[in-house]
Each structure stands twice: as C-alpha cells, then as structure tokens.
Structure 1
C-alpha cells in the first residue's frame, strides 16, 4: 500500500482554495458586507469585485489542482502561490490597519467569539481565525507537495 502525497496535497489545496473562493461568497455577500446599508456604495462595489475575483481565481486554482495531464506538481505549486498571495494580502491588511484606520470587524458584522481552547483567553476575530486555519492548511498542502 502506497501513500499518495500528491492526492493529499490536492485535497488540502482544494480546501485552501475553497477558503478564499467559496467561503468569501458566504461570508461577504450578505448584510454584513456587500448589502450592508451602513457601508458606502463604493465600499460595497469593492467587496463584490473582491468576491468575484476570488471566485475566478479559485476556479482557475481548482483547474490547476485537478485537471489531468502533465506538470501536475508544477500546477500544484502555482495553485499554492495563488493561495499564498490571497492569504498574505489578508495578513498585510491586518498588520497595516493602524496605518489606514482599519478594523477587523464592524459593529454590525461578524463579532469576535470566545476562545475555543480554554488555555487561551479573550475573544478571537472570525476572519483572522478562519484565515489562520487556512494558512495551516496551505502549509500542510505545500508540505505534502514537497514530499510527493
């Protein structure tokens, strides 16, 4: 019985891709973001543009991951790079919030939640938590690709 590292990488990169391509549709195309009456129309335009871009890049990434043919490992690396760009940009935006006056959440959006692990205290931001989990999945997928 052999262990298929590339299959594991494909599954992990699929989960990572769905994190930015499908989860953003669910999380952002609703009253907390795209149809939020408290947002300016131009801000809503930008979030819909972002969602549509992520869906398009996600479909391209899924094709790179699953399309049969040559250069399978190289296509996995390209999908990994695309995911790295999306997640790195998120964390750059988080770290730069003091510069542009940003916040991770709005009063009428997704609120921070109690830490799910008792050894941690305080409240966790939904976006930062979700994208941190996706980053771990990305690292695991890259590790499986390198092992394959």
Structure 2
C-alpha cells in the first residue's frame, strides 16, 4: 500500500501538475513576468526530478521511507504555500477570476490534501507496525 501511495503522489506532482501548468495559464502566460516564469519552470523540473528519484527509490531500491518523506515535503510545501497565500498575495484564481475546483474545493488543495493525508497515514501505519514487531 505504501508503494502505491507514493506512486500516486508522484503521479500528481510530477506528471499531472506539469500537464496542467505547461500552457497559457502558467508557463506561457503573457501576463506573467519572465522572473515568475523562471520560478514556475524551475519548480516543475525540480518536483518532477524528485518524483523520478522517489519512484527509483521505491521500485528499484525498495526504500519507501525516504520516498515518503520527499513526497510529503513536496505536497506539504504546496499546502503550506496555499495556506500562507494571503501573506504574500498569492492566489489559485486565474486573472479572469476563475478557479479549477471539484466539490467547491480547489483541485490542487483537494488532490494534494488527500495525497498528503494518505502519505501520513501509510507512513504512520508503517512505522507503528515496525515498532510493534
């Protein structure tokens, strides 16, 4: 279950997010400053590279501990930046005021929130099983 949770998390942040952001709303957005675009592309490359490392650790090295920590950090970083958005003037809304939501919740918060909680659960369960063995 832990390998599947890690793989799902990696799919979200290393594949789905770049698909959603390499377009005119993000990377090729003419309203974004070139400096912002650099940070966006850097984040996409960095997170996708971390995802590849996580999959290699899980499926080749059979190391779920470091992978789960890395996945939790990437998703937690997004959730923290969302939680602090008022502090630095961030928003998940597009310039036209629209926002991608599901069940009234921003899709990034929903997807990463579920995956983050799942990672915490499988990591906690895994650690408790080791301690009780």
TM range (shorter): 0.7 to 0.9
Aligned to 2:83: 95
Which consecutive residues of structure 1, in runs of 5 or more, have no partner in the other structure? 1-7, 116-122
Instruction: Give per-residue Cα distances to partners, 1:18-73, cap 9 Å, x unaligned.
Output: 111111211111111111111111111110110000111111110000014xxx3x
The secondary structure found in structure 1 opposite 2:90 is coil
The answer (yes or no) to whether the contact 2:79–2:113 under 8 Å persists in 1 is: no
Given the superposition, is the C-alpha separation of residues 127 and 109 from structure 1 closer, same or farther in structure 2, using an over 3 Å criterion? farther
Given the alignment of the two structures, is residue 131 of structure 1 paired with residue 120 of structure 2, yes or no? no
Given the alignment of the two structures, is residue 11 of structure 1 paired with residue 12 of structure 2, yes or no? no
The separation in 2 between residues aligned to 1:46 and 1:109, in whole angstroms, is: 22
Given the alignment of the two structures, is residue 43 of structure 1 paired with residue 27 of structure 2, yes or no? no
- Normalised by the size of structure 2, how large is the TM-score? 0.84
Relative contact order (C-alpha < 8 Å, sep 6+): which is higher? Answer: 1
* Structure 1: 4+ residue segments shifted above 4 A: none
Root mean square deviation of aligned Cα? 2.1
The answer (yes or no) to whether the contact 1:20–1:54 under 8 Å persists in 2 is: yes
More helix by share: 2
Given the superposition, is the C-alpha separation of residues 114 and 87 from structure 1 closer, same or farther in structure 2, using an over 3 Å criterion? closer
**Pair member with larger Rg:** 1
Which consecutive residues of structure 2, in runs of 5 or more, have no partner in the other structure? none
The separation in 2 between residues aligned to 1:89 and 1:114, in whole angstroms, is: 21
Q: Count matched residues.
A: 129
- Normalised by the size of structure 1, how large is the TM-score? 0.76
